[in-house]
Amino acid sequence: MDYLFSALHKNYEEMVSIRRYLHANPELSFHEVHTPAYIANYHRELGLQVREGVGGRGVVATLRGAKPGKTVALRADFDALAIQELNDLPYKSKVDGVMHACGHDGHTATLLVLAKVLKEMQEQLAGNVVFIHQFAEEITPGGAKPMIDDGCLDGVDVIFGTHLWAPMPLGDVGVRTGPIMAAADMFDITIHGKGGHGAEPHNSVDAIVIGSHFMTQLQTLVSRRVDPLKSAVVTVGHFEAINPFNVIAENVVIKGTVRTFEESVRSLLEQEIELLLKSVCEGAHATFDYKFSRGYPPVVNHKKETQFLADAACLVPEVQNVKECAPFMIGEDFAYYLEKVPGTFFITGAKNPEWEEAYPHHHARFNFDERAMLIAAKTMGLATLKYLKHSK
């Protein structure tokens, strides 16, 4: 433990340097080329066994300990978002319209330097460590599932992952058994009415009015159809009718998202949205197209591994609070890993104590306190060492 912590401290500046390089050179989901090459080269220089192109653009590096034992997997994602960065930083994005606005640059830097330190401890390891560098977390169908299909979890006994979280104070670690992040689904609707002159509504079927009625009633599904002791969110993020001001719209396009933790609620809302849409449209003499696209399932942490991680976090000097966090309605394809092997996904606080308020994830001014990377590395590193030691 002492060597792990001191070595990570020694290499902290390199961790920051890697993060800032990646931040300045972001790549969009499913378009990552230079980032996976950079990651693979780093691991190769450490002397690790490296697989590239895993599941498409993923990288998997394996560190084999000097003695036989269990296998721990650690995962980091490395894709960026289609956002124009507004931060005035020396390492701000050099790519127009693309930005690391969710901390994936920090996740990658954390895992790379942790791999370097664990490699230095190879002779002490009884077991193996698999470093999973995942592409395309931000956009469904995501990179986790194809990487799993391509064998990234073969032989793995447990998996740990973290998300640097800017709204949570530096020094806090959030853990939760069971669902910690929601299923993230999408609906895509087109309402077909009958266009006409704005002065003659009686000769038309106004898709905007119908869409507005549907939008209003949609808000009752969570409050009146879902068990109040269960959680759900239905949000419309897109309502569009491209039309002159004096013309009644023939078509309206509505897109939104559904967030749930339980399969029964997920299926209920998928059906209820369509039933509501059908009743509103039929009553107004309109037709519709409806598509419900299932995204990532909920992230469900395993009890034993969550407690194991929490116990390890308590031993990290920079960690001030290890607390049970409330579940998040955001989605994460780490869910797929946890469907295959035991493990846990935890939250590492990354809000600078001097900041009055942190910009949210996916914001053009998003940033995080880089010291959170050190806490994340120590927590995952210690959990790895303790798991291998106690699983012999």
pLDDT in tens, 257-280: 999 999 999 999 999 999 999 999
**Rounded to an integer, what distance in angstroms lies between the CA atom of residue 200 and that of residue 197?**
5
Residues ≥6 apart with Cβ < 8 Å to 231: 182, 260, 261, 265, 327, 329
The encoded tokens of residue 316 equal 């990290």
Residues, the chain: 392
> Is the pTM of the predicted complex or chain greater than 0.85?
yes
Average pLDDT over residues 106-126: 97
> Is 285 assigned a ligand-binding role in the annotation?
no
User: What was the pLDDT predicted at 50?
Assistant: 98
User: What was the pLDDT predicted at 100?
Assistant: 98
Average pLDDT over residues 117-145: 97
User: What was the pLDDT predicted at 219?
Assistant: 93
User: What was the pLDDT predicted at 6?
Assistant: 96
User: What was the pLDDT predicted at 392?
Assistant: 60
Residue in this structure with the two tokens 């004096």, named with its chain if needed: 246
Element (H, E) at 42: helix 34-46
Average pLDDT over residues 73-98: 97
Average pLDDT over residues 246-254: 97
Residues ≥6 apart with Cβ < 8 Å to 328: 180, 181, 182
**Rounded to an integer, what distance in angstroms lies between the CA atom of residue 116 and that of residue 106?**
16
Domain ranges for the chain, please list them.
2-182+298-390, 184-293
> Is 102 assigned a ligand-binding role in the annotation?
yes
Q: Which of 42, 41, 38, 45 is nearest to 22 (CA)?
A: 38
Q: Which of 127, 188, 169 is nearest to 368 (CA)?
A: 169
> What tens digit of pLDDT does each residue of 146-201 get?
999 999 999 999 999 999 999 999 999 999 999 999 999 999 999 999 999 999 99
CB atoms within 10 A of CB 84: 12
> Is 123 assigned a ligand-binding role in the annotation?
no
> Is 197 assigned a ligand-binding role in the annotation?
no
User: What was the pLDDT predicted at 390?
Assistant: 81
User: What was the pLDDT predicted at 357?
Assistant: 83
Cα–chain center distance at 58:
16
What CATH number does domain 184-293 carry, 3.20.19.10, 3.40.50.720, 3.30.70.360, 3.90.600.10?
3.30.70.360
Average pLDDT over residues 366-375: 98
CATH class of 2-182+298-390: alpha beta
> What tens digit of pLDDT does each residue of 36-71 get?
999 999 999 999 999 999 999 999 999 999 999 999
> Is 325 assigned a ligand-binding role in the annotation?
no
Confidence band for 1, pLDDT divided at 50, 70 and 90: confident
Q: Are 267 and 167 in contact (CB under 8 A)?
A: no
Residues ≥6 apart with Cβ < 8 Å to 205: 193, 194, 250, 284, 285, 286
Active site residues: 79, 137
Q: Are 218 and 276 in contact (CB under 8 A)?
A: yes
